[in-house]
Structures are given as C-alpha cells and as structure tokens.
Structure 1
C-alpha cells in the first residue's frame, strides 16, 4: 500500500507543479484545468488501489481475476466520466488538462524505475 500512496503523492505534486507553471504562463483557467487533469489521473488509480489491495490476501485465482476485472472496469468508468466532465468544464483548456494527465501518468513509470 505504501507504493500506491507514493504514486498518489507524486501525482499530486506533479499536478500542483503543472498547475503553477500553467497558471503563471497562461492564467488561472489553465491552472484549474491542470489541477483537474491531475484529478483525472489520480482518482481512478487510487480507486483501483483501494479496490485491489485489500483483496490480495485471497488465494483463489478466479476470485482475484474477477476482482481485478471489476476493478479495471470501475477505473475505466471513472476515467471516462472524469474526462467527460473535463470536456464540459475545460473545453478551451483541454490540451493543458491532457498534458497534466500524461505527466501524472508518468509517475507510475517513475515509481517503477525508482523501486526496482
């Protein structure tokens, strides 16, 4: 669970840094879009971690696979819903939002590199 919280923390920090950069260069609307991009990246990942980590004690492979698939379905649904909301709220700043989203997703790779 520690790694999940570390990834979440890195995503939050990345989101705030991106929001500060975009806010300083493009205005507060872009800053808000960047923060929402971090939310779109962090919330589904956090949900998946909270869904799967308590179930890792189960030894039955079919139960674990079923939990994983339901977790991924929930993560996908959250991501689609948040992106739909983002398009409605931040249509003019969608590239800023998308750039921050991609930067926050890179935190998974950073965590993988730093822990191996």
Structure 2
C-alpha cells in the first residue's frame, strides 16, 4: 500500500496491512450485522434468522463459523434435547464494539447526508 501522504505510510507489517486484516475479520455483508446484534448480548441461531431475514441458513452458519474461528465470537452448545446453541462475543470480540458503533454512526450519517439528498433529487426530477 503506497501513499503520498506521510500520515499514512506504507505498511511495514509483512503479514499485511492492519486495515486489511480487520476487514478480513469483520468484512462482508453479514459479519458486521451479526457483531452488531451480539453487542446487546447472547443470541441463538434462530434469533439471528429473525433479525436478519434476508440471510440464508447456510450463509449464517458460514459467517458464524468464520467469526468463531477468528476468535471473535464464542459458541456454547448445551447438552439438552433439543440441542441449544448460543453465540456471544468473546472478550477479544468486545474490543470491536467501538468499531461497530462507529460503523453504525457513519451509516446513519451517510443515510442522512447522501441517501436522503439523493432521494430528494430523484423526486425533484
């Protein structure tokens, strides 16, 4: 990553740019939303399905597994019939809270400043 701005020099880390690493963990359409819902506490699989009706069961399973493998969420399996599985943020996962909240705030601002203006322009034309 080459930059002309001295404030953001190229990344010296041979493993990759830290921003790239962060995006690998939280990037994509669903991971940020899953993490956002976990900020308020433990969730079960079907709760995610109700909160995110557009995600497929397969995609939700894949995203939860990736977040678990990355050490960001914890999956607790209860030995009962029927089996009960709960997902929560790990201690390390909680360190993402400021980032997720900033993403939420930026999204709200974007909606106010860009999307709403765009909608107004379309109505005028």
The structure showing larger relative contact order (alpha-carbon pairs under 8 Å, at least 6 residues apart) is 1
Q: Which has the larger radius of gyration?
A: 2
Identify the structure with the greater strand proportion: 2
Identify the structure with the greater helix proportion: 1
TM-score with structure 1 setting the length: 0.32
TM-score with structure 2 setting the length: 0.30
